[in-house]
Each structure stands twice: as structure tokens, then as C-alpha cells.
Amino acid sequence: MKFRDFLKENIVRLDGGMGTLLQAGALAKLGGAYLEQVQNDVSATYVNTVTSTDGNVYGFPVAPNTWFMYYNKALVGDADLTSMESILEKGIVAFELKNSWYLPSFFFAAGGTLFGETGTDAAAGVNFGGEIGVNATNAVLDLLANPNFKVDGDGFGNAGLKDGTVAAYFSGSWDYAGLYEALGENLGAVAAPTVMMNGAPAQLKAYAGSKAVGVNPNAKNMKAAMQFAAFLASADSQLLRFQLRNITPAVTALAENPEVAASIVAVAESNTMAYASVAQPTIAEMNPVWGPVGTFGTNLADGTVTRENVQEMVDLLDGQLNGG
């Protein structure tokens, strides 16, 4: 069998779609030494990204899948980085408010949850309503009232950071090469800051997902397939991938590697996963969440959500997310 055919028939990529793959019976659960590898090599945050509702683990994390804040060091100092309000005093901050991958960070900062604490309890539903939703929404409205807070979209934040008109914006590792080419050593990257919410600073939290590999349960040679997937997720493989392609490793111990520790993106992603994130649910019940959240963000951006109708709009969102 050709190597390409072996990969196609045996190895499965898990980039956020584990629930759908499990429904299709397309993933083998891990056990024995393979399960121990995952549990020993990566943090609980990563383990949650490949754990299903049955408590079983179905993949080997190989890299983080999250977002963080890029900023221009010439405009924003180290002392300002932990507070959205402080950064806004230094210049324009662009945020993808209409994007349902970014907007939930405000609800998480307010204490909201998606399908329980680990994102695997479908019966727990989405807890973005009530006081949590009102506090999150009011915090966004406060930011929108600041002329330095801009709704990102169509590359506005990326282009602005490059030409010096934007102080900070939120994105991921995929934007690093172009930004570094434009800003050089003036480019910085850190986990998302806090935002004032109900009179106190609250930590914005990005989705924590992982790029992972799994195994086809119908693999003709299950042992070989598992061994290869485990090899792809090994510390040696992840370090080599970082050295060749600048992909941040998921293996906890590699954060201490001098090369990894010198990467602003690797440090920002690792810190985000450690303290400024919430596990992105992988269950199929997550699929209907994206649309209503994105619409809510659009309604915030275009002024449909106002101070006067916050409770009404939050109740509407809650009903859409929980079948009400």
C-alpha cells in the first residue's frame, strides 16, 4: 500500500468536527498506552478537545486551534496589554464582533458556559442568557461607544496593524508571517486582555480547540494506524513540525524548549490555552450555535441591540440557542 493511501484510509483529521465524525462512526477510541500518551503529554484543556460525551478520548492533539491579540509595540506598551480599556487609550482596537468564533469571549468572561464546564454535556445547553448575557452585552455596548473600538471585518484589523493605523486586533497564527514582514520586531502577540464588565475587569476567553489526529475504526491494521497517529502527536514530531512550519506544539513539555519559548505566537497560544480560553465543544449539538451567535454580533455592530432592549435581545438569543 502506498503511504498516501495508508493515510487516507486510516488517519482522520479532527479540526473541530469530532461530534460529526463520531455520529458517522468514523473514529476509534483510544486506550492503553495511546490514551496514556494523550493524558500525560498535554494539558487537561487539550484532553477536553478530544473527549466525547461518553468520556472516551478519540484523538491525539498536535497543535492548538485558538485566537489571541496581535499588537504594535510602537503604540502599545507592556503595561497596557492586560486591559482592553488601556489599549484603547493608545489607539484603535479592531475586534471581529460579527464572527461567532470571537464574540462568545464576552459571554465566557461573564461566566457563561456551553454544554457544561467541559463542553460535552448536551443537556446543560447554552448558558448565555439572564444576567450573564446582559453583563456581556453591556460590556460590548460600552466598547462600541468608544471611538477607538472598531468592528473588524474584510481584513481591516490586519491591514491597519500593518500600516500603523490600528494598535491591536485579534486573530491567530495564520496571520503571523505577513504581520511580521510588515512590522518586524514591533509585532507583539499576547492572550486576550480583560474588559470592564459590571464594574470590574473580566478576562476575555477565546475558544480552545485543537488540531488533532484520530484513527479510522475500520482500519485494516489498527495497530499500525494507532502507532502512526501516536507518532504524529509525539514530542519529537511536534518539535520538528514547529521547526519546519512554525506550528505551536500541544505537548506541554515543549513550552520549555528554547526555540518554542522564543516564539511570540507559541507563547501567546500556550498562555491562551492555559488561562484565557474555554474548551470549544466538539459535540454535534454545537452546530446550531454558530448562526444565532453570529447574528447577535451583527445586531450589536449595526445598532439593533441597544441599551434599551438588552434584556429583550438577550432573551431572544437564549431562546434561539436553547430551543425556546
Average pLDDT per consecutive 10 residues, the chain (324 residues; last block may be shorter): 74 80 90 97 92 92 96 96 97 98 98 91 94 98 98 97 98 96 98 97 96 92 94 97 95 96 96 93 89 98 97 97 83
Q: Show the CA angle centred on residue 156, arms to residues 150 and 159, nearest 5°.
A: 130
Say which residue the cell 491494521 belongs to.
221
- CB-based burial, 152-190: b 16+ in 10 Å, e otherwise: beeebbbebbbeeebbbbbbbbebbeebbebbeeebbbb
- The secondary element (H helix, E strand) that includes residue 169 is strand 168-171
| Structure confidence at residue 15 (pLDDT) | 75
| Structure confidence at residue 263 (pLDDT) | 97
Q: Distance between CA atoms of 301 and 159, rounded to whole angstroms?
A: 20
Q: Distance between CA atoms of 251 and 64, rounded to whole angstroms?
A: 10
| Structure confidence at residue 53 (pLDDT) | 86
Say which residue the cell 439572564 belongs to.
130
| Structure confidence at residue 127 (pLDDT) | 96
Cβ proximity of 266 and 172 under 8 Å: no
Nearest alpha carbon to residue 132 among 205, 217, 208, 42: 205
Nearest alpha carbon to residue 168 among 179, 178, 157: 157
| Structure confidence at residue 215 (pLDDT) | 95
| Structure confidence at residue 10 (pLDDT) | 85
| Structure confidence at residue 16 (pLDDT) | 66
| Structure confidence at residue 324 (pLDDT) | 62
| Structure confidence at residue 92 (pLDDT) | 98
Tally of CB atoms within 10 A around 320: 18
Q: Distance between CA atoms of 115 and 105, rounded to whole angstroms?
A: 15
Cβ proximity of 81 and 190 under 8 Å: yes
| Structure confidence at residue 8 (pLDDT) | 77
Say which residue the cell 477510541 belongs to.
29
Residue 189's DSSP bridge partners are: 70
Residue 122 burial class via C-beta count within 10 angstroms: exposed 0-12, middle 13-18, buried 19 and up: middle
CB proximity list for 205: less than 8 A, separation 6 or greater: 105, 108, 109, 192, 276, 277, 278
Torsion 265-160-104-99 (CA) sign: negative
Runs of H (alpha helix) within the chain: 3-10, 18-23, 32-41, 44-49, 84-90, 104-109, 130-144, 156-163, 176-183, 222-232, 235-245, 258-261, 264-275, 290-301, 310-321
Global pTM reads: 0.92
